[in-house]
Amino acid sequence: MLAPFLPPPIPPFQEKVEVRVVLHQVRVLDREGEPIRHLRPEHFQVWVAGEPVSLLAVRWVGAEEEAQRPISGESPSGRLVTFLVQRDLQKARASGLLAFKHRAAQLIERLPPQDWVALVVQDSRLHLFADYTRDHGQVAELMRLHLFRPPPRRSPSEAGPSLAAELPEAVQKKAATHEQGLLALAQALLRLPGTKVLVILGWGLGRLWAPSFYLPSQYLQAVHLLERAGIPVFSLDITDADYHTLELGLMQVAEDTGGFYAKTHLFPEQAVRRLWGALAGYYELAFLRPPLPEGVHPVEVKLVGVSGQLFYRPTFADPLPVGLP
């Protein structure tokens, strides 16, 4: 006798409403390059894809607060500050770097002790001069004395985040152009947890194909990952010249990621002061994610009742799926 046919049970109806909050970093500096603190929600107006959004909260996140944030699990807290130096023996580039490297070293020495600092040098390939360390004096000495020498033999990394683990020697060797180097570094940084900042001491990005200037595909991939990871890029142009074509690429990567561009050959103290002010902290603007398709969406932020310079990513991006890139 055949068993009677029983239809599968109907699952109970469930309704799920997903509320997602976007946290957007905004830096506000005055004309002297000092951070403007103590701003409130009414001091900001925000638009996403051309439509105004209401802020849920505005929070100042200074270097002291960042130092208390755990990177992940049992990993130490603190920011990951990466210095990428583009070195070249062309006169205007080499002389500019030689003139500015001492100020860069002093800035490294002044960073909060909880920050992890790494030093990467780019020429015809990448060179990892120093993995993340809290020995800021060691990185400062490399900046002052060893930029035009072969990379030193690396000692075992401290019990903390490791750039070498995500940027192996084979990858460093293949990064033959500045854009390939930026992409390799962006991929490595994306895989590391925590709050990250990238400082470029460089002379250019992009290509000049007379009469046009363009940024190759590796740049577009790199800036996409930097945006996704929320990593601002601060471009300090060390070229000893009032103007040069490849500065456009340094300007663009700063604008695309929420950092800024500054020249160092005329007013190096001003460039350092602005960078120090930007590293001092930022505002975290919280708002509900609008009902938009998954992807990248334009963001506009304005100050209300306050005068200052705003630096922020012109987009927000939904998180990458797990396991990418």
| Cβ proximity of 280 and 81 under 8 Å | no
Looking at the predicted structure, is the pLDDT value of residue 16 above 70? no
Question: What is the set of domains in the chain, with CATH numbers?
Answer: 21-317 (3.40.50.410)
Predicted confidence (pLDDT) per residue in 33-92, tens digit = 999 999 999 999 999 999 999 999 999 999 776 656 665 544 557 899 999 999 999 999
Peptide bond into 298 cis (omega under 30): no
Q: Which residues pair with residue 60 across a beta bridge?
A: 283
| Cβ proximity of 310 and 27 under 8 Å | yes
Q: What is the rounded distance in angstroms from the CA atom of residue 277 to the CA atom of residue 231?
A: 17
Q: Residue 173: its pLDDT value, please?
A: 97
- Does the pTM surpass 0.75? The reply is yes
Which of the pair, 157 or 79, is modelled with greater confidence?
79
Quickly state the pLDDT bin for 157 (edges 50, 70, 90).
low
